Amino acid sequence: MAQDKQCSLLLEFASRFPLPHGARFSYGTAGFRSDGSILASTVFRAGILAALRSLKTSSTVGLMITASHNPVSDNGVKIADPDGGMMTQRWEPFADAIANAPDPEHLLQLVKDFVKEENIPFGGEQSAEVLLGRDTRPSGETLLKAAKHGINAIIGAVAVDMDILTTPQLHWMVRIKNKGMPASESDYLSQLSKSFSCLIDLVPKERVADCSDTKLVVDGANGVGGEKLEQLKKMLTGLDICVRNTGKKGEGVLNEGCGADFVQKEKITPSGFGPDDVGIRCASLDGDADRLVYFLISSSSSKNIDLIDGDKILSLFAVFIKEQFDILNNNSDSDNKLAVRIGIVQTAYANGASTSYLKQLGLEVVLTPTGVKFLHKEAAKYDIGIYFEANGHGTILFSESFLLSLEARSKELASTSSGSESHKAVLRLLAVSQLINQAVGDALSGLLLVEAVLQYKGWSIKRWNELYQDLPSRQLKVKVVDRNAVVTTNAETKVAKPLGLQELIDAETAKHPHGRCFVRPSGTEDIIRVYAEASTQEAADSLARSVVQLVDRFLGFPSSH
């Protein structure tokens, strides 16, 4: 009887959200993403998906409506798993299937088959909870209603509207709520401000930066991050933040000529920045505030910038964390050293100079295929795992067991040598674990950690940028008949198929000092991406062009040969 009621309820709700004619949707790293005007049926079905995920895990999950750094006309939806991370990949084929079900009857059958296969209680008395968030896009409100209908179509499921949020805030809330702790937006802001203050209080007096260097100008991408940073900065001391491109009415368009994606790709000043900002530390968030890059305007006569990307952010964090363990273990006897495995996780797109720098520090560096889901999973294998993509998305993960050992050491030192350098080092590491968002990359928490570390080191942005010199690089793409003809291995750095292509790439690469090149198929279209590095820009450009010709010869359209 309960099953019948559930089936009729789902059919009734689904009939209100027909699939747009000719549309096809695919759940990837970013969830579903498309033009906001055709997404209602997809978001409705994502609501069903989230409710079933909550029933399956007996935990709260999240549903975020955003298209991140995409244009304002786009929108999207993705599910946050109970740990605050991305929805398990195992459910992605089901997500695709229900998003593309042609009618309510097909949708119902897919759901019935899946709940049976996954042993999910369906139509019974078990409860489910889904936290809902959205960014500031105009289409967000309509899509939020569709998501609520999808959740309400599953008996026992409750939708909790958390209002307008950054994507990382929603992920944080899901993670914290499932730990049984308060998880409102004010709890998030409070945790960030308190842990930042703790780190600033632990800055050595002799390293305090010049007062003139506490000024930070932030490009909010005319998105949700600017608005949230305005709230957060009122809770901070020791930092002078000026937010531009806040998204207020009449100020500008979301992600248009601004934001982390624009700054990182174009390497020019975003709108709202100019000659008056020369020499000042500047940062850029993306539309939903999960990416962060810094930049320096070095000349009033040019729009060009010195970009400080995710690789440099990762390196700054790695230097700081390694230094805390050096302090801790150098001041301990051999029986009392704190054993730790620190892992640095990058993709092949990380600049080779950053990888060399990190290895020179004595840190373990591993590469994964492109995509946050691969980076996050690898970072979780370490006591402390640090990952960042060059685009500015990344975070630091602390294992639960290692945090327990840090807390135990803190108590021990508090009773024996409170205020010692070792005790301060432990307190700093614990504060970092509270400040950084361990669910997902978070531009706001990342920005505060950068600022705390720069103050701790007494470094200007110029000094930070001089950690290493990026190798010149070039990215190109080749249209091909079938991208699946290229199969890669070794974290996408080597071509396994077609046979013979890798040997030719190696021969071209060997012609250039500091040469490095790899190719990989796009995840969404029939193109092969080519990345090349060398000691000069001219050499990097030449290497990339040579490899494009090789790929075209092996895989290009016959008419182009």
Which parts are annotated binding residues for Mg(2+)?
68, 286, 288, 290
**What contacts 417, CB < 8 A, 6 or more positions away?**
423
Residue type for position 465: N
**Annotated active-site residue in 34, 68, 139, 284:** 68
Annotated binding site for substrate: 389-391, 520-524, 529
Strand order in the sheet with 527-533: 473-479, 527-533, 516-521
The pair of three-digit structure tokens given for residue 133, joined into one six-digit string: 């968030």
Residue type for position 461: I
Q: Where are the beta strands (DSSP E) in 5-126?
A: 32-35, 60-65, 74-80
Q: How far is CA 421 from CA 308, 341, 346, 428, 451, in A?
A: 30, 21, 31, 10, 21
Question: What DSSP line would sit under 114-168, residue for residue?
Answer: HHHHHT---SSS--EEEEEEE-S-TTHHHHHHHHHHHHHTSTTEEEEEEEE--HH
Cα 247–Cα 253–Cα 257 angle in degrees, nearest 5? 110
CB of 312 within 8 A of CB of 304?
no
**What contacts 210, CB < 8 A, 6 or more positions away?**
none
Cα 61–Cα 65–Cα 69 angle in degrees, nearest 5? 125
State how far the Cα of 96 lies from the Cα of 119, in Å rounded to an integer. Answer: 20
Annotated binding site: 68, 286, 288, 290, 389-391, 520-524, 529
CB of 397 within 8 A of CB of 340?
no
Question: What DSSP line would sit under 291-320, residue for residue?
Answer: -EEEEE---TT-SB-EEE-HHHHHHHHHHH
Is 299 noted as a catalytic residue in this protein? no
Neighbour tally for 559: CB within 10 Å:
5
3-state secondary structure of 263: helix
Query: Which residues form the catalytic set?
Result: 68
